[in-house]
Structures are given as structure tokens and as C-alpha cells.
Structure 1
């Protein structure tokens, strides 16, 4: 039995929510995995953390074991206080096999493209015992793949899907001696979306109550595509990261810093790029509609999930009616939005130490390289490319083939050819997309 530590919102023993998750295994030992564990621990009989073997994981595991398997969660704002607390893990594991098979809940706090590998590593008995799998951040079509894998294995746990991780968290650069492994959560999203493959009011209410304590609104959908389509990165990353400007900078050896969300020449954003963003949004919207999902209002999602702009800049009625506006006005509003978030909203603040919200745009690109004859890209945009190739494969196998195109794939492949770069990555992306489709086929043909 896990020794109980004082957590601000831990529920009383006679609460209906206590232990509803049973034995919980969290896969992914990054900041999101640890903060998520802190939220789920009150609902778990015991909780364990696992990650693939790496220098970072061995170091984190060592720090926690020196302090009784404990990690600390802190916040940067008083209103996020319910996320503060200690989490004591009953076990810390490396790699997925062999493992005890007595898990009731599996939490995947890993990138979505790791889901297949994670499930493949579990024994049939372990999967058979699972009552629920919680996906903290899927990709579009990710639930389709997962359901197909589980159907082939003849298991049917409840799938709980989040549109995205609910916060922005990072490992503290100034941990204390008492708590050397500390995760700090800086911000939370205004709203997240959830899908459950089987209705479970008790579980949904437990998750909703925990997040609403930090003012994260939780919205339930009955279609996984409706949830997966409500992640802003699915729209913004392909347009802003998979273009000639961005790709050249990612691979360059230049010392100058460029930023992913700034206007040209500091970043990639031009009117032409805004057009590509709109085109990608409309392609994804057609795909969502094909799977009976509700398309999104792009401007509203950006305003909800990221930094909202002042109403004096973009009136609420313009945001609410964005889908009905003509294309020129849509382009204009998106360009205004990305221009506005470059401006310090409080330039005369007396505090020089307080970070301004406009710094949301100051995210530099991560760098890639050519190594041993292979093109190696950073996680962003590599994962975005993999998602695009998967969606493109899904489209090619459906009646949508004539109505949807993903321009970012054409841009990427042309860039590789024009720069005379190795093509092995393109082949690997296509192969992985094909594997995804094979996994998903049982659930597609239902």
C-alpha cells in the first residue's frame, strides 16, 4: 500500500472517487507524466512510473529513489495551488518487459507515436487485466489505431482520451535538497476535451473535478475524432514548421536565432503561410466530418488553448463567427492574432522580472542534423510529419482522396529533393504510416 502524502485536493476515504483507478501504471517520466501522476494518485490503490532506458531517466530515477521514490510538483501561480504536492511512486521501472501484470489503469503520458510500441511491449495477460487506458494527448486518428490494436488482441478496456495535456510543465532548474526532482507547472489550458469509449460517470467526474479546481473546463465528446481534432498543434505546426524557411533554419549551422511563432524575418509567418494554415485547417475539417466528428473553429481554439487576444483587437463576435467568414477575412484575423501576441500587453509595467505574455512567441527552433547519411529532425516537426503521413495514408485509402491534400508533405519532399538531402526519412515516414493503417484496419472496418 502506498504511503499517503498530503495532497491539497486528496479526497476523503468515504468519497465515491477513492481508488476508482485501482493499480495505475504511468508510462512516460517527463514533466507531464509526473504532474499527471500527482493528480491521479488519490484515485489509485498504488501508482508506478515507467520510462524507456535513457541517461535522463536513470538520473531521475536515482534522485527519486534517494528520497523514497518521491517527486515534487510545484506551480508558478497561486491559483494553481491544487497542483502542488508530493507524489510517492510504489515502483519505478525501466522498460516495459517484464512487468507485473496486475495493472487496472494504464496512463500513456508519452508522445502519441509511441503508443504502438508501448502496447506491443505488454504481455497479453497484462493487457487483458486492464480496465482502462488513459491517453493524455493523442494525435488525429490515434484512437482509431489504438482500438484496432486492442481489437486484434481481443481486449476491450475503456479508452479515455484527452485532446492535449492540460498544462505547461517543466522540470525545475532550482530543485531543493529535500525535493531534488521537482516539476513546475506554469500555466493551464482554459479548456480540454475528453472522450470515453464506454460511459463512466464516476471516472469522468473525478477527472473533471480535479481539473476544475485549477479552472480547466472539461468538455465531453462521444466521438474520438472530435477530441483529437481539438489540439491547436495539429493545425499550427504543419504550417509554421514544415516550410522552407523553418526547415532551412532547423538544419542550418547559423548562430542567429529564429522563432517558430514570429513574423518574417524573425520567424516564418507571412500572409502566404497564413493561407497555408487555413488550407490545412479546412483539409482536417473535411477529414473530421468524414468520421462524423464536429469540426473546430480555428480562431476560437487558438484563443482558448493559447494566449487570448484582447477583445478590442479581435471582437468576440468575430471569433465566434470565424467559420462563416469569407477567406480573406479569415486570413486577416489570423494574421492580426499572430501579430498581436508579439506585442507586450503591459509595456509600462514596473516589474522587470515579471515575464510578459507576449513571450509566448519567443520559442526558438530546435536543431536537426545529417548524421551517418540520415536526416535527423527534432521531435518538432518530426512527429508532426509522421502524423501528416499517417493522415495522408488514411485519406488515400478512403473516398476523400480527391477532396483533401496536405500541402506540407509536398513542401517537405520538395525541400528534401532541392537540398539534395537523404530520402531515407521519407521512406521511414511512409512505412510507419502504412503500419498505422494496418493496426487501425479492424476498427475502420467495424
Structure 2
């Protein structure tokens, strides 16, 4: 089957941009032609327009699906070649609806007992069980088998080359799975948002941001821990199949399945020796005592157990509402804070959609804020360059004595109290 334009477009977006030169040579292009395609890619890496142009030109010369798969294997893109050979990118023809003969009457289903197959103790009662002939317990066992199966742990095989598999891992991670994986890898929420935004450029969803996130994590992790920690993060994020495919275990062990905790059986609570009154319980049905007696116990000042329970409930209620009603702390930022050193960290914790509000709190005009936001997006990649520039420009026009306190105040006004508390903690404070 000949390659279609839709297939070429999708395949081009999945080819590693670093192998374009080798792939072009396998296609038979001259160096000057390949350089033009590379230049087009460099102008907007997330679009891979140069790669697609090169594939279209090669296809017009008579390139076939088999030749494409061979060339991809030659440039270490074997996994993509396998996906192409399996027909993953082929556009399936729309099947015409089957014609229903007018002369054939439609059978009417009459309610009634379902005949019991021989050898079965219980008659099937659902459409699924009528097809399989399996009792309900067996079906339930099959559906819950994957959840109850013990997980394998151990060391990733030494033969795995992490640098080569990272692009393949990125391809298997959906856009809605990046946030959970990023948190498992130790990234902050603002950083994860930038990687997600880098994936979506000009209305097209790519894996550029996901690949950048994995490479950035790799660069800050020791070589000895990289493979095992990445596999663990994938498993914690619910991506066990991706981990098993790209980071298989060399030596593994099966984690034991913990036995279920025993369920306590309701019953009377024994009265400890030396206590004048029996302890108060949460359920009158467990003690079997009349309501009046229970009321007397709860109102007895000598009943320590009841008092303890009431105090515990009061504390729990206080904890639940403390986040909503806790007064905000105000005061002076600690003298030990070095603003020049914390500004880059503050910029990293500010999301792209929070820059506008912070910029206005710092006194910038809308046109200036828009320029800072645009500076963050360089070559299709979302960075913090513009945010960092905005903070440094603000700092350069403020008196040194006011810088830390006013920056903290602007963060709080912008709804970034958590960022303010982390990077600009108060030395002396009072409740507002």
C-alpha cells in the first residue's frame, strides 16, 4: 500500500530531528538539499516542516514504504519502522453500512428463562456470560486480575541505552500524563506547565516538551541512578507498560502482596479496671446501653475518654477549616535572603498565565508585560527568560531597602503566596 499524505505528515513529526542528515543521505539527497531541510526545521523545531518536506520530495521520486522502514532502521529509528510496518498510521477506509434485507423479519426477543448449559451449576444471566459460558466469579476474577497481580521490582537491564530510549518513551506519553510524571520526577508545577505548553505549538501537539523534560531530568540525576529512578517514576505515574517496554528489568523480584487487614467485629467495649464510668463509644448499638445512660456518660466531667474524643473531633474540625480562615502573615522579609540568588528560582515557579498579573502588581504597563511573555517563547520552546528579565528590570529601578518586601507583597497580591513563603520567608512577622 502506497504512503498517503496524512501518513507522511504524522510520521515526519515522530522522527528524531537529530537524525535528519543521516536519513537524507539514505534517501539519496545531496548535502545542500539536506541543509535546506535542516534550516527549515531549525526555524521551528516543533513543527518538523523540514522533515516533512524532505519526505514528500523523496516520496515523489518513487519512495516506498519498505524503503522508508529500511532507512529508519539504518538511523536507529527501528521502533518507528515497526509501527509503520504494523499499519498503525494507515487511514482505514470507511466501511459502508450493511444492507438489511427487507423480506427478512426482525426477530422479537421474548423475555423468559435462559437455558442452562450442561455442566454449569449456575445459569448465566448476562449477555457476556452467555457468550463465554463462564460464571460471574470467573469473569470478576479476570477483570480484577491485572489489579491484584504483584508488581515486579529490581534493576533495569544493563543493556538499556537511556539516551536512545528517551525519545521513544516521550512518544508513548500522552499529553494528559505529563503532569503526573513530572511530579514523580521532582519538577515543580510551573516547570511542568512550560513543558506541556512547549508540546502544543501553532495548534499542533508534539512531544518536544516531554522530551525536553526527560532530558532536563537526566542532566541533573547521577548516571548510576538514572535508569532505575526513571522506571520507578513511570510506574508511580501509572505508566507501567511504558516502563516494561523501554526499561525492562534485568534481574527482578516479585513484591509480596500484603494480606488484608482484619476487619474488627462490633461488640461490647470492656470496662478497664479502676475506672468508675465505662468509656464512651461512637456507637450506641455496640454497647447495648440505653440512650439516657450514654447521655449521662458524655456529660460526665470525669469521663476522660469522652473528653478526649471531643477534643480530637474539635482539633480535626479546626484543621479542616484552618486553611480557609487562617490569617495572612505580614512583616519584613528575613535579612538572610539574597534577592539576586532567589530571583531565578522565583521565575521558575511562575507559570506563563501568571506573568500578566504579577507584572501589573510590579507596576509594568501591559505592552511591557506582553513583551516579557513573548520573550519566554523562543524557537517554539517555553522558557523563563522573559519572566527573569521582568524581575531583574523591576529590581534595577527599585531602591535596595524596599526590594525584598515589595517583591513579596507583589507575589502575594498576584495569588502567589506559596512562592513568596518559599523564596522570601519572613524574619519577623505579625498576623494581619
The answer to whether TM tops 0.5 is no
Q: TM-score range by the shorter chain?
A: under 0.3
Bigger Rg, which one = 2
For normalisation by structure 2, the TM-score amounts to 0.22
Q: Which structure has more strand as a fraction of its residues?
A: 1
Hey, which of these two has a bigger chunk of helix by percent?
Answer: 2
